[in-house]
Amino acid sequence: MIPQNAIQIEVMGATVPFYKYEEDGVIVYQFDSSKLGHPEPMINAMAGLQTIQKDEKLVMINSKAPMGLFPKIEADFNFEIKDLEDGRVEVIFTVRGEGDAATDFSDTGCAGGGCSN
């Protein structure tokens, strides 16, 4: 659910609308990829992850947890998965640390069948 105070923003490389809002003093970026097939959820997650800064959040709504994404980003981002009442999941990402990013944001492939949309 997109809050009333959210504004739609453009995120480079995204294939779905992204929204930005403030919640409890934290800037939040949110997108819904729950109706997309792979690799689009990963493409949009990578685009969103490049957008957030330390102390900001990225919220992804998806049909299921994107298990193929997590190993690609775990060096630079924390993530928390919440099951939603309608069967979808909400994944909340935050930046980990302050050093150089190890994430290859161009790696949006699903080699080895590890993608979940």
Please tell me the least confidently modeled range out of 43-47, 86-90, 91-95, 104-108: 104-108
Q: What is the pLDDT of residues 28-76, one digit of tens each?
A: 999 999 999 989 999 999 999 999 999 999 999 999 999 999 999 999 9
Q: What residue spans define the domains of the chain? A: 7-99
Q: How far, in Å, CA of 50 to CA of 46, rounded?
A: 6
Looking at the predicted structure, is the pLDDT value of residue 114 above 80?
Answer: no
Residue-level pLDDT at 116: 46
Strands (DSSP E) contained in 1-112 are: 7-9, 18-23, 26-32, 57-62, 77-83, 89-95
Whether residue 79 contacts residue 48, with contact meaning beta carbons closer than 8 Å, is answered with no
Residue-level pLDDT at 1: 79
Would you list the DSSP string of 80-115?
EEEE-TTS-EEEEEEE--SS-----TT----GGG--
7-99 has which CATH code? 3.30.110.40
Confidence band, pLDDT 50/70/90 cuts, at residue 100: low
